[in-house]
Amino acid sequence: MKKDETKFKERVQRDLNKLNNVWFVKIQQVSIRGIPDFLMCVNGGFIALELKRSEDAERHKLQEWTLQSISHAGGMSFISWPDNWEETFAVIQSLDEKVDRDRQEEWETSH
């Protein structure tokens, strides 16, 4: 039987696969410490996503530092768990949909 955390990661990956204008990669945590679970590009913006099994799950200092560094550099970073995933996904989805709206406006003004 799969762990709850594994099921959550699979759900996140399925949801991200539904988006049209997103590139992402799931990082193997075993190989690189402190790197978020998912790195992605949405509408030209860099997003880091760290997944936790619950809101009160331990957050390692290196993970916190990495997420803060990404935000400081102009990217977006999220820590998400099953109970707040819908909210996090809504933000990512709105950035994905913005690409479609922008492309539609460009097409309409050029034709």
Residue scoring higher pLDDT (25 or 31): 25
At residue 14, the pLDDT reads 96
The amino acid at 2: K
User: If we measure between CA atoms, which residue out of 99, 78, 95, 8 comes closest to residue 36?
Assistant: 78
Contacts of 41 (CB under 8 A, 6+ apart): 22, 23, 24, 47
Confidence (pLDDT) at 80: 97
pLDDT at 111 over 60: no
Question: Mean pLDDT across the stretch 102-108?
Answer: 64
Q: What is the mean pLDDT of residues 1-18?
A: 89
Amino acid residing at 59: R
Q: What is the pTM of this model?
A: 0.82
User: What is residue 19's predicted lDDT score, i.e. its pLDDT?
Assistant: 93
Beta-carbon count within 10 A of 2 CB: 9
The span from the CA of 77 to the CA of 64, in Å, is 10
Report d(CA 80, CA 87) in Å as an integer: 9
pLDDT value at 88 more than 70: yes
Q: What strands lie across the sheet with 76-80, from one edge to the other?
A: 22-26, 38-42, 45-51, 76-80
| Predicted confidence (pLDDT) per residue in 48-83, tens digit | 999 999 999 998 899 999 999 999 999 999 999 999
**Domains of the chain and any CATH numbers:** 4-110 (3.40.1350.10)
CB 37 within 8 A of CB 49: yes
With 90 as the cut, is the pLDDT of residue 28 above it?
no
